Amino acid sequence: MNCELAQERIVTAAYGELPDEQAHELERHLAGCAACQKEREQALALKTLMGAYPTLEPSPNLVARARLRLEEALDALPPKRWYERWGQAIVNNFARLQSAPVAALLLLVVGTGAGCLGEYEYAQSRAAHVAATQTAVAPKPQPTATPLPELANVANVSGIARQPNSEIVDVTYNQLIPRQIEGSLDDPRIRQLLMLATENATSARVRDDSVDLLAAECRAGHSCQPSGIRDALLVALRYDKSAAVREKALEGLEPYVAEDVRVRDAVLEALLNDSDARVRSAAISLLAPVEADSSVRQVLYSVSNSDDNPQIRNVSRQVLSQVPEIQ
């Protein structure tokens, strides 16, 4: 058994769903592979951590937004050209009719080609009709003051700028055309747009600016409620591709590690799974005040003994050494 297959089976084994034969084979591999042993320890620690708390269902807004982003990503895929579809249809029909007579096969090829060509012409005419319709009904820009943005109609946030020595933030967001809104950080419209900006997949700079402002609001204790800004920071910590953005999200969540179990769990996940050593070190520093929690102690103990990074191991041991009863 190779390490890749072993690591795929470790999670299944942790939940007792691996067949006995495969479980014995996995144990033989683990006996001689330190890397996979470490992987199993981390999987068991994470299972214990997750099992300590009830499973939370995603909010309807999150599910709806995820579906919209998936649909946008699918729509962005370039369509196949007519001759590519025709070629694929020919290949598929050849595979199905290898034993068919030559005359029937030729007839099928001709019919397939004619059908694809007709489909292409219909698609072209349909696209022209839709484009003409959209042009006819497209709304004209209004010269009046910027209204409250409806998040369902906001395509993305393309720019954020905080005015020097001020609580005023300029947020540029896109609907059919780019728009700009100005307001205080306490303005619900500004907060909604900043939270939306944390999900901007096309601009790391916009995500960095938005998370930085939201984190500052949380550190200052300005209405950083569990549902809202704190949720946006949790999503950024778990899923953002930029280590700088994840580190700023940690900074914003720091005041809530002791009181909010969801925040504590997210910080523990970052310590176990984040790919950046700075983020993991920051996670340890946030966990130091709550090292008496059993889940925190278990994760720190696992990291201090099996982590690949010696600095992470040393920092974890220093935190553990402050609690005599777990030595």
Residue 69 CB partners (closer than 8 Å, separation 6+):
199, 201
Q: State the average pLDDT over residues 24-32.
A: 86
pLDDT at 72: 74
Q: What is the pLDDT of residue 138?
A: 46
**What would the pLDDT profile of 127-171 be if each residue is shown by its tens digit?**
555 555 554 444 544 445 555 556 656 767 888 988 888 889 998
Mean pLDDT computed over every residue of the chain = 75
| Residue 11 CB neighbours (<10 A) | 16
pLDDT of 123 over the 50 cut: yes
Rounded to two decimals, the pTM is 0.48
Measuring CA to CA, which residue among 96, 100, 99 is closest to residue 88? 96
pLDDT at 60 > cutoff 80: no
**Better-predicted residue by pLDDT, 66 or 303:** 303
Mean pLDDT of 12-37: 85
Type of residue numbered 177: I
Give the number of other CB atoms < 10 A from CB of residue 248: 26
pLDDT digits (tens, 9 = 90+) for 266-293: 888 888 888 888 888 888 888 877 766 7
Confidence of residue 100 (pLDDT cuts 50, 70, 90): very low
Torsion of CA 207, 209, 215, 217, to 10 degrees: -130
Q: What pLDDT sits at residue 281?
A: 87
pLDDT reported for residue 121: 55
Query: Averaging pLDDT over each range in 141-145, 177-181, 294-298, which range is the top one?
Result: 294-298
Q: Which two tokens stand for residue 35?
A: 């890397």
* pLDDT above 50: residue 264: yes
User: Is the C-alpha dihedral spanning 79, 82, 87, 89 positive or negative?
Assistant: positive
pLDDT tier at 117 (50, 70, 90 boundaries)?
low
- Identify the helix (H) or strand (E) that includes residue 103: helix 102-137
Task: Return the minimum-mean-pLDDT range out of 30-44, 120-134, 247-261.
Answer: 120-134
Mean pLDDT of 111-130: 54
Which residues are within 8 A (CB) of 3 and not within 5 positions of it... i.e. 6 or more apart?
Answer: 29, 33, 35, 36
**Lowest-pLDDT range of 85-99, 127-141, 152-166, 203-217:** 127-141
- How many Å from the N-terminal Cα to the C-terminal Cα in the chain? 36
pLDDT of residue 143: 45
Tokens of 235: 């999503």
pLDDT of residue 75 exceeding 80, the answer is no
Percent of the chain past pLDDT 70, that is, above it, reads 68
The structure tokens listed for 61 are 């807004």
- What dihedral do alpha carbons 217, 218, 220, 223 form, nearest 10°? 80
**Contact between 207 and 240 (Cβ < 8 Å):** yes
Which are the contacts of 211, defined by CB distance < 8 A and separation ≥ 6? 198, 232, 233, 236, 240, 245, 248, 249, 252
Cα 32 to Cα 18, 42, 129, 269, 305, distances in angstroms: 20, 17, 66, 27, 17
